[in-house]
């Protein structure tokens, strides 16, 4: 399979502090990969660096083209969708407007995509005209995921989607993630809950203190490796 995303020697940080150090990984089209690591391992920074939301150095290629130097909005238009940690819906806008703002320029296609999202998340359809701040945490997470899908991404970056959700809502959300992955969209899923992430991803990349310390099929990950990544023992 040809690589949809190629990252080589990526370094990123905030101020003087380095959060990612010489990170390399690749993702094939339609592949789902879990990005595992303890809090502070650099998972969120890696996703933000892919999107250009934090300064980063190194080689970044998406679908064969160099992403280096491109603005975030350009990377999104090239086919990268992003679901941030903490949902970050636009609180003063309606559910429909939250979806439409991330949609394609053509109104007709946009309207079709909104209906597609409402079919995936029927709860959102019922709240279409309501302001996003009125939604529950689970509904806001669905809205954030739906919003990322409005740009018809070929790669979806998910940052801790189950954070703050009840186990039942988190399970529902992962059902939706599986369905999205089933449509051929590649997914890079940063998640602290390894058990949950590995239910949707056949491959995992392990991060520890900003460095890749493991990359391979889930079956090859031993309990000791995971323990070392999460607890350092």
Partner 1 sequence: MAALQLLVNGVALGAAYALVALGFVLVLNATSAVNFAQGDLVMAGGLLAVALAPLIPLPGIVLLPVVLVLMAALGLLLALAAYLPLRRRPPVSVFISTIAVGIILQNGAAILFGPEPRAAPPLFGDDTLHIAGLAVPEQSLAIVAVAGLLIGAQQWVFARTQLGRRLRATAQDPEMARACGVPVTAMILVTFAIGAACAGAAGLLLANRYFVTPTSGGDLILKAYIAVTVGGWGSVPGAVVGALLIALFEVGVSSVLSYPVALGALYLTLLAILVLRPQGLFGEAVRRRG
> Does residue 101 interact with partner 1 by CB under 8 A?
yes
Provide the minimum distance between the beta carbon of 73 and partner 1 in the complex, in angstroms, as a whole number.
5
- For 23-66, give the secondary structure using H, E and C: EEEEEECCCEEEEECCCCCCHHHHHHHHHCCCCEEEEEEECCEE
Output the six-digit token pair for 37.
Answer: 């690591």
- Interaction mask 117-136, partner 1, x per CB under 8 A: ----------------x---
> Does residue 70 interact with partner 1 by CB under 8 A?
no
Provide the minimum distance between the beta carbon of 163 and partner 1 in the complex, in angstroms, as a whole number.
16
> Does residue 178 interact with partner 1 by CB under 8 A?
no
> Does residue 90 interact with partner 1 by CB under 8 A?
yes
- Interaction mask 134-173, partner 1, x per CB under 8 A: -------------xx-xx----------------------
Output the six-digit token pair for 184.
Answer: 């051929």
Provide the minimum distance between the beta carbon of 151 and partner 1 in the complex, in angstroms, as a whole number.
6
DSSP 69-129: T--HHHHHHTTEEEE-TT----TTSBHHHHHHTTS-SSHHHHHHHHHHHHHH-HHHHHTTT
Chain centroid to Cα 57, Å, comes to 20
Among 28, 70, 93, 176, binds partner 1 (CB under 8 A): 93
Provide the minimum distance between the beta carbon of 133 and partner 1 in the complex, in angstroms, as a whole number.
6
Coil, helix or strand for 191? strand
Pairing of strands 211-217, 203-208: antiparallel
Residues engaged in binding partner 1 (CB under 8 A): 51, 53, 71-73, 76-77, 82, 84, 88, 90-93, 97, 100-103, 105, 107, 110, 133, 147-148, 150-151
């Amino acid at each position: 399979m040809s690589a949809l995303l190629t990252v080589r020697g990526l370094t990123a940080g905030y101020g003087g502090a380095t959060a990612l150090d010489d990170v390399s990984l690749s993702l094939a089209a339609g592949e789902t990969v879990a990005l595992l690591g303890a809090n502070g391992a650099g998972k969120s920074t890696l996703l933000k660096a892919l999107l250009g939301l934090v300064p980063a150095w190194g080689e970044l290629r998406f679908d064969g083209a160099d992403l280096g130097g491109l603005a975030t909005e350009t990377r999104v238009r090239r086919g990268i969708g992003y679901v941030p940690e903490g949902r970050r819906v636009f609180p003063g806008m309606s559910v429909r407007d939250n979806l439409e703002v991330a949609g394609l320029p053509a109104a007709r296609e946009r309207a079709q995509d909104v209906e597609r999202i409402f079919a995936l998340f029927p709860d959102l359809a019922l709240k279409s005209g309501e302001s996003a701040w009125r939604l529950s945490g689970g509904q806001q997470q669905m809205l954030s995921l739906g919003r990322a899908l409005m740009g018809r991404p070929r790669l979806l970056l998910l940052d801790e989607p189950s954070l703050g959700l009840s186990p039942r809502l988190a399970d529902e959300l992962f059902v939706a993630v599986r369905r999205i992955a089933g449509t051929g969209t590649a997914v890079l899923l940063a998640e602290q809950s390894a058990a949950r992430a590995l239910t949707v991803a056949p491959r995992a990349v392990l991060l520890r203190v900003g460095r890749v310390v493991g990359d391979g099929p889930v079956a090859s990950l031993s309990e000791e490796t995971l323990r070392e990544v999460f607890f350092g023992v």
